[in-house]
Structure 1
Amino acid sequence: MRTSPVWNPQQYNKYADERGRPFADLVGRIRAEEPTTVVDLGCGPGNLTATLLDRWPTAQVQGIDSSPQMIETAQPLANERLTFEVGDLYEWTAPAESIDVIVTNATLQWIPEQLKLLPGFVRALKPGGWLAIQIPGNGNAPSHAILRELAATEPYAEYAKDKSLRPDVPGPAEYVAALSAEGCTVDAWETTYSHLLEGDNAVLEWVKGTGARPVLQSLPDELRERFEAEYGARLNEAYPRREFGTLLPFRRIFAVAQKKES
């Protein structure tokens, strides 16, 4: 299994409503009527995965995530129709044509050359099955640009420079091309959400749960607090708190594909 950050489900869920909206928008475009087997690849703490039980009342739902911490948080949600297990997307395989719906939400952006995984996902689908993908597309936003710039300066660069880098992510057109080549009918789009976040230094609190986590974990204890203070100060300038909250524009990319009937 790949080495990945140690995720903190509590930090991640500080803005659970905002993080959950793209998942709902993604699942809303899946037209599966009565699937029997649904898999959520990269299920995180499981709260969104659990909503699939109501979406498809007769389905067996499985959540898979590479983070033991996330799966531990998800386990109390498990029941006779919902299970969770630790697993890596690189190593995940399923019997051919065994799954009705695969959802992967805010996960593939961490994986270089993620498009190479798509044929395996499609093979796992039954004819007429559905694959739904959502990834952040905000790598050029100030939150990430400031992170990369600061991580590349001393005294942080020795530990953190490489941890701030992210793979390039596909756009909608690339998903259309890749999934169409696998015999799917594809609906792909992008949306920029305008999240209004509550709390002090809200964007710092947001990225501490996701994009900044690998950098912060790479730093020795004596540098981590200093880095967080500098990073937070610059984020406060880029995303000032107003009387109505802190505005965080956040671009996301979606693709929903249906495998053609044999």
Structure 2
Amino acid sequence: MPQDRWDPERYLAYAGERGRPFVELLARVAADSPRTVVDLGCGPGNLTRLLARRWPEASVLGVDSSPEMVAAARRDDPGSGVAFQVGDVRSWTPSGGPVDVLVSNATLQWVPGHLELLGGLVGHVAPDGWLALQVPGNFDEPSHVIRRELAAEEPYAAHTAGVAVPDAFGPEVYLEALTGLGCEVDAWETTYLHVLTGEDPVFTWVSGTGARPTLSALPEHLRPRFEAELKRRLREAYPARPYGVVLPFRRVFAVAQMKPRHGGRP
């Protein structure tokens, strides 16, 4: 099976649209002057640098499991002072003790059973600190359903069985889980209507994220045929309009503040 690698350039094809949820997530984090801020699942680092702008006095670290993403983040860092390292959300621990702000944006959907990780993530945050997460909530939309159905057909099924697929929960699940861990929680959801342009823009979008493992799993002699059929079905599901192609995209957010050990907010 071909090695599954992230493509930073493809991921950044719609950087503005992908960045909006991060900005809106960050707006609900009411930390005044944190000393340590971590972006867990930082990707190519373009959004991590927003953390350094928000809190210029803080030590900001971006962590990602993809060496390609971390390499791109380090290469494109314009002297912001942000540090980047390779690390896995399932095993990462802060080297200097609990952090003041821990952000996980569009990452946990790739981790099976990630609700079980929330206790550990909460444990990495200092009292009065903040945990902020965002995950896609659009897995029943045609962009995912079409890919799953096509991947289950022959001759593709033998190659795509068992590949990684993203999944997540609704805001009420994260509210319940984080409240049960002793946090004060703000959870919500938003559906964006992204207006995309260019040739086969929905394919370009999904090939950089949700469809990436499936495409990587296909041998070279089958991948062009699969891509052509996926593009055709996506064009039917998301027809072009005079102003572009509309991609509805539901996002789920949760911002949790750790309750101080003495109880109550200061």
Q: Give the structure-2-normalised TM-score.
A: 0.94
1:17-50 deviations in Å (ceiling 9; x for gaps) = 0000000000010000000100000000000000
Kindly indicate whether residue 180 of structure 2 is the aligned counterpart of residue 171 of structure 1.
no
Q: Determine helix, strand or coil for the equivalent of 1:222.
A: coil
**Displacement of 1:165:** 4.1
| Equivalent residue, structure 2, for 1:72 | 71
Q: Determine helix, strand or coil for the equivalent of 1:119.
A: helix
Q: Determine helix, strand or coil for the equivalent of 2:47.
A: helix
Q: Is the contact made by 1:95 and 1:124 (CA closer than 8 Å) also made in structure 2?
A: no
Q: Is the contact made by 2:103 and 2:133 (CA closer than 8 Å) also made in structure 1?
A: yes
Q: Is the contact made by 2:110 and 2:164 (CA closer than 8 Å) also made in structure 1?
A: no
The one-letter code of the counterpart of 1:24 is V
**Displacement of 1:84:** 0.1
Kindly indicate whether residue 97 of structure 2 is the aligned counterpart of residue 120 of structure 1.
no
| Equivalent residue, structure 2, for 1:239 | 238
Compared with structure 1, are the counterparts of its residues 237 and 214 closer, same or farther at alpha carbon in structure 2 (3 Å cutoff)? same
| Equivalent residue, structure 2, for 1:107 | 107
| Equivalent residue, structure 2, for 1:83 | 83
Q: Is the contact made by 1:109 and 1:136 (CA closer than 8 Å) also made in structure 2?
A: yes
Q: Determine helix, strand or coil for the equivalent of 2:222.
A: helix
The one-letter code of the counterpart of 1:158 is A
| Equivalent residue, structure 2, for 1:23 | 22
Q: Is the contact made by 2:4 and 2:217 (CA closer than 8 Å) also made in structure 1?
A: no
CA-based RMSD: 1.6
Mapping of residues 84-233 of structure 1, within 5 Å:
84-94=84-94, 98-163=98-163, 165-167=165-167, 169-233=168-232
Identity %: 54
Unaligned runs of 5+ in 1: none
| Equivalent residue, structure 2, for 1:46 | 45
The one-letter code of the counterpart of 1:36 is R
Q: Determine helix, strand or coil for the equivalent of 1:90.
A: coil
Comparing 252-261 with 93-102, which one deviates more in the overlay?
A: 93-102
Unaligned runs of 5+ in 2: 262-266
Q: Report the Cα distance in structure 2 between the residues aligned to 1:187 and 1:97, rounded to whole angstroms.
A: 25
Q: Report the Cα distance in structure 1 between the residues aligned to 2:172 and 2:95, rounded to whole angstroms.
A: 29
Q: Determine helix, strand or coil for the equivalent of 2:144.
A: helix
| Equivalent residue, structure 1, for 2:248 | 249
Q: Report the Cα distance in structure 1 between the residues aligned to 2:251 and 2:149, rounded to whole angstroms.
A: 23
4+ runs deviating over 4 angstroms:
none
The one-letter code of the counterpart of 1:85 is Q
| Equivalent residue, structure 2, for 1:7 | 6
Q: Report the Cα distance in structure 2 between the residues aligned to 1:78 and 1:183, rounded to whole angstroms.
A: 39
Compared with structure 1, are the counterparts of its residues 165 and 9 closer, same or farther at alpha carbon in structure 2 (3 Å cutoff)? closer
How many residues in Structure 1 have an aligned counterpart in Structure 2? Answer: 259
**Displacement of 1:243:** 1.2
Q: Is the contact made by 2:40 and 2:104 (CA closer than 8 Å) also made in structure 1?
A: yes
1:76-130 deviations in Å (ceiling 9; x for gaps) = 3174731000000111112696200000000000111111111111111111000
